[in-house]
Structure 1
Amino acid sequence: MELKQIKNSTSSMILQFSIPSIIAMMLTSWITVADGFFMGNYVGKEAIAAVNLGLPIVYLYLGVGLMVSIGGVAIAGMALGAGDRETGNQVFRQTIALTLFLSAGISVLIGFGFGPMLRILHADERVIAYFQEYYRIMLLELPIMVVNSSLGMFIRGEGSPRYFMKVTILNVLLNILLDYLFAGCFHKGAAGIAAASLISAAVSLLFLLYYFWKKARIYRLGKFRFSGEVCVQALLNGSSEFIGEISTGITMFAYNFVIMRQIGVDGVTAFTIVGYTAYAFSMVIVGFGQGSSPLISFCYGAGEKMLASDIRKRTNRYVFGAGAAVFLLMALSADWYGGLFVQNEHVAGMVRSGILIFMVSFFFSGINAITSFYFTAVGKAAESAAISFSRGLVVLLACIFTLPALFGMTGVWLAAPVTEAVTLIITGGLLSRESLREA
């Protein structure tokens, strides 16, 4: 990565770093969609609802993993931009070790919390059975997933995003094959689908470790000197991502709580199916964010603040265009989309009536998320956290508990676009304030 190259080919550098990341993240989302397809077609709609009830657990892992990893990648990237490769390598080693330690600890704690969570949601016996069957295995898979994601960020930061993309392709193909074998052929149900995820994640980890043992040019595995200062700085710098993911987990719990009480299992199933599209689009946003963040950190660390801001603006234009494209695509395919996952007309009807309302949020969410990534990449955690806190918790929770009470299931679909529109106003205010400071 060279500053002159970034200046001369800014757009192409953004795409060069982002497209492999987007492909990798999209493929990751296809694992979730494939799991939902096999759950709905080979296990039942209650199994889809059970998986959705446990998504707050997944977001807890993602929150901790992203907080440590993105914070660490930003520090390492700025160190590389300043010419200090040794510090960057030490930060890498500490980040991976801390990610592994924290995610394994979460698995131990969550193992004792299944019962209370399901009692609060008033889940029925079939949903509870599928939940326990699936997530007891996923407690082993999720720490591996988090470490894989962290290693992938550093591979991209080193300038080799295509390698991580290839590993992700392997992960997806293996997962889909094993889903088909375990659920479709051997009829192992929810446990088989969870086992497929665990095996594919473990195989991917081996290929990622091989990269750092044999191919890496900057970041190498090995001993490290633990730095409390770097640890605190990384956690603070990645705090907005933690807030974003934990907020998503909290709001997902709130969504499930409200829908279960007002609509029932069919409502949760419909919301989950629409959520697959939202999750896939969020992976496009994260791909652009992870692709542009190393460039932003490098330029900012080299004193090129205007160039870092230009990278943000160009990336925002890309995600807005992507949101418009996804909206158009789903508008054309909304009639058959719900039936792809369940053979239940009531659920499919809910999906058809709500998906376009929900996806209005795609026009705003990308800009909000990329701006949050930008503030994290330049070390401005407070501004990043303000955006994440608004779109992921405060405004969204207010919408979840008011709009469905007023408009039923339509209110559920309206919660996301209203939240993103309000957050966009906050995002604009933060960017205006930064422009005045830099002037």
Structure 2
Amino acid sequence: MNLESIRNNTVQMILQFSIPSIIAMVLTSLITIVDGFFIGNYVGKEGLAAVNLGLPILYVYLGVGLMLSVGGIAIAGMALGAGDIKKSNNVFNQTVMSTIIVSVILSILVLAFFRPIMGALNMDVQVASCFEKYYCIMIMAYPIMIVNSTFGMFVRGEGKPQLFMLINILTVVSNIFLDYLFIRWFNFGIEGVATASFISLLIGLICMVVFFLKKSSVYKFRRFKFSKSVLRDTVLNGSSEFIGQMSMSISMFAYNWVIMRTVGVPGVAAFTIVGYVAYLFGMVIIGFGQGASPLISFSYGAEEIELSKTIRKLTNLFVFLSGAAVMIILSVVSDWFSNVFVSSESVAILIRSGLGIFMFSFLFSGINTITTFYFTSIGKAKESALISSSRGLVVLLICIFTLPSLFGMTGVWLVAPVTEAFTIIITFVLIRQNEKCPAE
């Protein structure tokens, strides 16, 4: 990574780092979407509902993984920008080991409390059966997923985002092939979908381990000295991402609780399918954030503060335009999309009505997300956490428990755009304060 190149070719560098990250994240999201296609068409709406009811478990894993990986790469990136390669490499090894240990402990805890979790979700017999079959396997797959995500952050930090993209292509192609094999030919049902995800993630893990063993130039597997201060700073820097994902876990549970009592299983199935669009767009935004983060932290570490701000502003412009483009596309394909995942007219009607409202959140969510990445990348965890907690918990939960009670299922679709619109006000206030007092 070269400071002069970033300064003279800022747009090109953002795109050079972001586009492979976006492709990688979109491909990662396609695993979930392809799984949804096979579940909806070969298992039914009960399978879709079961997967969605368990998403709070996934968000807990993502919260831990993003906290450690984003927090770790921020410290490593600033150290690399300051020329301290030894510290940067030490942070890499400590971050990877911390991710492995924490994710394994988390899986043990989830398995221990699996039955109480199922009881709290109050599922009917069919949904409960699908839930158990799917998540007993995915609990073993999720640690691999977040270790892969951590490796991916450091692959990009080393200046090789295209490599991570290629590994993700292999992972997605493997998942699609295995889904088709296990579901269409072997009739394994929802367990086949989970097994396909597990095997494809394992393939990606092997590829990245080989890279760091043989091909990496900066980050290498080495014995390292554990640093409490690095762990503390990693957790603090990544706290906004953790808060964001944990908030998603809590809010998803609240969403499902409200929808089950408002519409029932068809409503949860419709919300799951619309959620695929939000998930896909969210991966585009995270791709931009992960692409821009190493550039921001490197520039900030080299005391090029104005350059780091420029990177943030340009990235925000890109995500806003992306949100507008997605809205236009959804307006054109909404009828087709509503019938792709499940053959239920009641669910399709809910999807068509929901997309027209829900998609307005895309105009604001990108800017909110990129700004949290920016504050994390420059070591301002408090500001980042404030945005994440607002859009992922405080404002969101207020909207979840008020709007559906006032407007029914329409209120459910209104939650996301109203939350993001309120949060963007907070985002702009924090940006303005940072512009006035950048050194604080």
- Regarding TM over 0.5, the answer is yes
Matched ranges for 1:2-17 at <5 A: 2-17=2-17
Distance 1:411 1:139 in 2: 32
Q: Deviations over 1:5-42 (max 9, x none)?
A: 10000000000000000000000111110000000111
Residues in 2 aligned to 1:42 and 1:223: alpha-carbon distance in whole angstroms: 48
Could you tell me how far 1:132 is from its partner in structure 2?
A: 0.4
| Deviations 1:128-169 (CA, angstroms, capped at 9, x unpaired) | 000000000001100000000100100000000011100000
Aligned ranges for residues 117-266 of structure 1 at < 5 Å? 117-266=117-266
Corresponding position of 1:351: 351
Contact kept? 1:59, 1:249, Cα under 8 Å: yes
CA distance in structure 2 between the partners assigned to 1:256 and 1:183 by the alignment: 27
Corresponding residue for residue 367 of structure 2: 367
Distance in 2 between residues matched to 1:203 and 1:373, nearest whole Å: 29
Aligned pairs for 1:284-303 within 5 A:
284-303=284-303
1:320-348, Cα deviation, whole Å (9 max, x unpaired): 00000011101101012121000000000
1:199-254 per-position Cα deviation (integer Å, ceiling 9, x unaligned): 01111111000110111000001211100110011001100000000101110000
Amino acid at match of 1:337: F
1:429 is matched by which residue type in structure 2?
V
Deviation at 1:438, TM superposition (A): 3.5
User: Is the 1:358–1:414 Cα contact (8 Å) retained in structure 2?
Assistant: yes
Match of 1:76 in 2: 76
Counterpart in 2 of 1:407?
407
Q: Which amino acid aligns with 1:339?
A: N
Q: Which residue of structure 1 aligns with residue 416 of structure 2?
A: 416
Letter in 2 for 1:391: R
Are residues 1:91 and 2:91 paired? yes
1:390 paired with 2:390, answer yes
SS for the counterpart of 2:187 is coil
Task: Provide the secondary structure at the position in 1 that maps to 2:112.
Answer: coil
Q: Which runs of 5+ in 2 are unaligned?
A: none
Distance 1:219 1:254 in 2: 41
* Aligned residue pairs, count: 439
Task: State the match for 1:23 in structure 2.
Answer: 23
Q: Secondary structure at the match of 2:338?
A: helix
The reply to whether residue 61 of structure 1 matches residue 55 of structure 2 is no
User: In the alignment, residue 309 of structure 1 is paired with which amino acid?
Assistant: K
Deviation of residue 120 (structure 1)? 2.4
In structure 1, distance between residues paired with 2:74 and 2:120: 38
The equivalent residue for 2:429 is: 429
Quote the residue 2:320 is aligned against. Answer: 320
Residue type of the alignment partner of 1:278: A
Query: What is the CA-CA distance between 1:394 and the residue it aligns to?
Result: 0.2
For residues 357 and 117 of structure 1, the distance between their equivalents in structure 2, rounded to whole angstroms, comes to 31
Does the aligned pair in 2 maintain the 1:17–1:156 contact within 8 Å?
yes
Q: Which amino acid aligns with 1:208?
A: M
C-alpha distance in structure 1 between counterparts of 2:198 and 2:238, whole Å: 27
Q: Partner of 2:106 in structure 1? A: 106
**Matched-pair contact (CA < 8 Å) for 1:361–1:421:** yes
Shift of 1:44: 1.1
In structure 1, distance between residues paired with 2:244 and 2:105: 21
In the aligned structure 2, how far is the partner of 1:336 from the partner of 1:302?
A: 50
TM-superposition CA deviations, 1:290-315 (whole Å, max 9, x none): 00000000000000000000000000
Once the two structures are TM-superposed, the CA of residue 262 in structure 1 deviates from its matched residue by: 1.5
Q: CA deviation at 1:43?
A: 1.0
Distance in 2 between residues matched to 1:284 and 1:204, nearest whole Å? 20
RMSD: 0.7
Bigger mean CA deviation after superposition, 254-263 or 372-381? 254-263
For each residue in 1:266-312, what CA deviation from the matched residue of structure 2 results, as whole angstroms up to 9, or x when unmatched?
10000000000000000000000000000000000000000000000
Q: Deviations over 1:99-140 (max 9, x none)?
A: 010011110000122222232222100000000000000011
Check the 8 A contact 1:121/1:260 in 2, yes or no.
no
Supply the distance in 2 between the matched residues of 1:438 and 1:106 (Cα, whole angstroms): 37
Shift of 1:401: 0.5
Letter in 2 for 1:422: F
Separation in 1, partners of 2:385, 2:265: 33
Partner of residue 38, structure 2? 38
One-letter amino acid of the counterpart of residue 177, structure 1? F
Q: Distance in 1 between matches of 2:65 and 2:249?
A: 14
What's the secondary structure of 1:340's corresponding residue? coil
Q: Is the 8 A contact 1:400 1:412 kept in 2?
A: yes
Equivalent AA in structure 2 for residue 73 of structure 1: I
CA distance in 2, matches of 1:186, 1:255: 34
Mapped to 1, the partners of 2:149 and 2:302 lie a distance apart of: 26
Counterparts of 2:162 and 2:305 in 1: how far apart (Å)? 28
Task: Find the aligned partners of 1:84 and 1:261 in 2 and give their Cα distance.
Answer: 56
Partner AA of 1:282 in structure 2? G
CA distance in 2, matches of 1:111, 1:195: 17
TM-score, with structure 2 as normaliser: 0.99
Cα distance between partner residues in 1 of 2:217 and 2:185: 44
AA at the equivalent of 1:147: V
